[in-house]
Structure formats: C-alpha cells, structure tokens
Amino acid sequence: MHSENNSWILSAQCPSRLGTVDVVTRFLKEQGCYITELHSFDDYRGGQFFIRAAFLPEQADFDGGDFREQFNARASAFDMHFELTPPDYRLPVVIMVSKTDHCLNDLLYRYRTGQLAIDVRAIVSNHPDLEPLAAWHGLPYHHLPITPETKAEQEAQVRRVVEESGAELVILARYMQVLSPELCHHFAGRAINIHHSLLPGFKGAKPYHQAYEKGVKLVGATAHYINDDLDEGPIIAQGVEAVDHAHYPEDLVARGRDIECLTLARAVRYHLQKRVFLHAGRTVVLTG
C-alpha cells in the first residue's frame, strides 16, 4: 500500500476538451511516474474538467522543477492550470479563534501528532483566553481585540500577521466575528470556516437550545470557504448525525462540537491534499 505522504500530487483544471485525461496520464507514463491514485470529474454544465493524480516517480533523481516546465508545454495547449505538490509538504497556516476551544484543540492535536500535514505559524484571537493553550504548543499567539470602531484596524493587523507568517491558509476555528467584505475578498479561496448546520436553520443565541425546543432530529456542521455571504461560502465538507427526544440541549451541544471538529479537520485535509477545486462559486471535491 502506498502512503499519500510519499506521493507527489498533480492537480489541474481546464475547459472540457477531448484528451484531457490522456494529456495527464500519458505525460506521467513518459516521465516514469507510477500513478497511485487518479480521480477526475467533467462538469458538463459548466464546461470545466478537473483531475487529480497522486504518483510516485520511479527515478531517484526526479526533478519537480523540470517536471513543471515540461508539463506546462503540454498543459498550455489545453488551457490547463495545474499545481504540483511534493510529498510531505506541510501547508503553512494561521488559525483564528475566539473563546471556544474545541476546534482549536482538535487541530493542534492533529498537527502535533502528524495527522494533518500543516505548519501552524500563528494563532490569532480577539480574546486572550486561549493563549495558555498556544503557549503549551509553543506557538505565537496574537491577541487582537476588536470593536465596531476598531474593526478596520484590527483586520489590517490580521492581514499583517498572515502575510508576515507566510501562511497559505487561514482556518477560522470558531472565530466569532463577521469578516468584512474586503477581508473576505483578500482571503478568497484560502480561508476555511466552520459552523453548525441545523435543519431548520436556528440563528441567534443558543441555536442548539432552540433546536431542542423544536425536537430536532439531525445535528451537523459545515466547513466552507469564506465569502461575502455569512456562512454561505462554497462548501468543502459537511457532517451530520441523527438525534432524538432523549438528547437534551447540553447533549446536542456536545454532539455538535464533535461533528464540528471532524468536519473542519476533513475540510482542511481535503484542501491541503489538493482535492478541492473552485469554479463558478462552488466546489468540486475529488475525494474518491
């Protein structure tokens, strides 16, 4: 069995055309690369093709830069945009959080044990409460308070932390502030948020208590890229679990937290493994 961590990843998208699979697989064969995983999808409505190939080079002196240069000559004929990700690449991230710590705890555990191939560069919060947790992990903690009057200044500080850290992804692990449209645009396609998903959608204070009063039968969570619409960005992953009348509000809250942790971690993993493609305001997720 081949490990995902040992494989290079070639991910690409282009307009739907004859030969799109062939241009990828034929080139990999010519380069002496053994494909360990291959998934593709053709969106006939949008006229867009997506492909992801994980592969192992047979030659010991495989050169990623030379591979990119040679494949670009083939891909350009298909208007194909592609990324080549080396094995064991650890994606640099900044995590944003407020006071609730379950998602942050889960991400840091997976980071510390190597379950998520991320490199946490910093934690940003509008509250000081979770600084001891960051310190235990030896991570920089930026306490950036925010008020309606200081929102623009605080968001400028957030951008500065992300840029100076070199982070390629921002994870909102229960960051309980609405980002401005300007910051959403700046982080488009590289910021993932998590929130509860209840049917019907209970908004406002204590949503799980509202759900309990209505006898809710499903609780869940949604992880998505941020955009201008609150909690309505392109969806990456969702989780759901059945509940019943025996689940009191505190039980629903506990179940919801567990699902949020699992769903956020899954979304981050899909993103860093180059399984997620954005097109026309929605996602294509090649999970297999």
How do residues 42-77 score in pLDDT, each as one tens digit? 999 999 999 999 999 998 899 999 999 999 999 999
Query: Options 3.40.50.170, 3.40.50.1980, 3.40.50.300, 3.30.1130.10; which CATH number does 91-285 get?
Result: 3.40.50.170
What is the pTM assigned to this prediction?
A: 0.94
With beta carbons less than 8 A apart as the criterion, state whether 10 and 37 touch. no
119 in catalytic set: no
Same fold, 4-85 and 91-285: no
For the stretch 23-43, what's the b/e string if a residue is b when 16 or more beta carbons lie within 10 angstroms of its beta carbon?
bbbebbeebebeebebebebb
Q: What is the CA radius of gyration of the chain?
A: 21
231, 244, 251, 258: which one is catalytic? 231
Helix segments in 31-93, DSSP class H: 64-75
- Tens digits of residue pLDDT in 190-217: 999 999 887 677 777 788 899 899 999 9
Predicted confidence at residue 5, as pLDDT, reads 64
Q: What is the C-alpha separation between 11 and 16, in angstroms, rounded?
A: 15
The domain locations on the chain are 4-85, 91-285
| Confidence grade of residue 158 (pLDDT, cut at 50, 70, 90) | very high
- Class of domain 4-85 (CATH, top level): alpha beta
Residue percentage of the chain with pLDDT more than 90: 87
Predicted confidence at residue 228, as pLDDT, reads 82
Structure tokens, 158: 């957030």
Query: How far, in Å, are 18, 48, 163 from residue 62 at the CA level?
Result: 29, 30, 31
